[in-house]
Amino acid sequence: MKLIAAKDYAGLSRKAANIISAQVIMKPSAVLGLATGSTPLGAYRQLIDWHQKGDVDFSRAVSVNLDEYLGLSGAQEQSYRYFMDQNFFSHINIRRECTFVPDGLAGDPQAECARYNQIIRGLGGIDLQLLGIGGNGHIGFNEPGAAFEKETHLVELTESTRRSNARFFQSPDQVPTHAITMGIRSIMQAKKILLLASGENKASALWNSFFGPVTPGVPASILQLHNDCTVIADEPALSLIRKNTGWEDMVYDN
């Protein structure tokens, strides 16, 4: 794992956008695994800016998103399909039919998971998977205790995840109880992984994930075993790692 320190959120977003645009420049038909949440927003904004200046071309790129709430349609503002359209896809030249997000309204969620796995396989796998991290160490919607060997599957969200995502809904009870998520196995099969963490509320998740034991109790800890994983974190998110290891440099490579 390579850990890169960013001074603040703007620095984190710029460094992340650099890695993503380099991927698309090196391989225009890259398959990008994308994430929602507040954390990647700055990187998406930076990529939009570079795209509008003519520096990055997404016309041959393909995207597969990590997850979607069950029961929400892509037209609903809280859905991850809507989030991606609004915050990224509609501002760049990726072809809409090349952007994949699990269907939250699928009548048969299990069949939808199987279909999604087929899509990923058919694309030849993911070149670069972007990840945020939950306060409890979840990635995608793989909550603590999730089996490492799963591909896309249906999950029940924990109360803590529903509470922290309630800010996007009018009331906490509107937060769906279930979601479809790529599993840890799908994530681990990506050729490269880029995880972003910003803010003090991610400090313990980051410490436990990258400096603690590899355990299903901390889903992101499995990333210690990925052979091309880069983590970019801002100083508040790094605070516990700095304190516990005495690490002072900008890059930590293990």
Query: Annotated catalytic sites, by residue?
Result: 67, 136, 138, 143
Beta carbon nearer to ligand GLP, 95 or 163:
163
Q: Which of 129, 165, 230, 239 binds ligand GLP (CB under 6 A)?
A: 165
Nearest to 216 by CA among 148, 160, 158: 148
Residue (of 74, 70, 77, 190) closest to 139 by Cα position: 190
Q: By C-beta, is 55 or 77 nearer to ligand GLP?
A: 77
CB 34, CB 88: distance < 8 Å: yes
CA distance 189 to 187: 5
Length of the chain: 254
Q: Is residue 140 a contact residue for ligand GLP (CB under 6 A)?
A: yes
The answer to whether the CB of 154 falls within 8 A of the CB of 236 is no
x/- binding map, residues 26-55, to ligand GLP, per CB under 6 A? ---------xxxxx----------------
Contact predicate 2/223, CB 8 Å: no
Binding-site string for ligand GLP from residue 50 to residue 69, where x marks contact by CB under 6 A and - marks none: ----------------xx--
- Tell me which of 83, 100, 141, 207 binds ligand GLP, using CB under 6 A: 141
First vs last C-alpha separation in the chain = 6
Q: Which of 30, 133, 206, 240 binds ligand GLP (CB under 6 A)?
A: 133
Q: Per rule CB under 6 A, is residue 151 in the interface with ligand GLP?
A: no
Return d(Cα 21, Cα 9) in angstroms, integer.
18
User: With binding defined as CB under 6 A, does residue 116 bind ligand GLP?
Assistant: no
* 3-class secondary-structure state, position 153: strand
134 makes contact with ligand GLP (CB under 6 A): yes
Q: Which residues bind ligand GLP (CB under 6 A)?
A: 35-39, 66-67, 132-134, 140-141, 161, 165
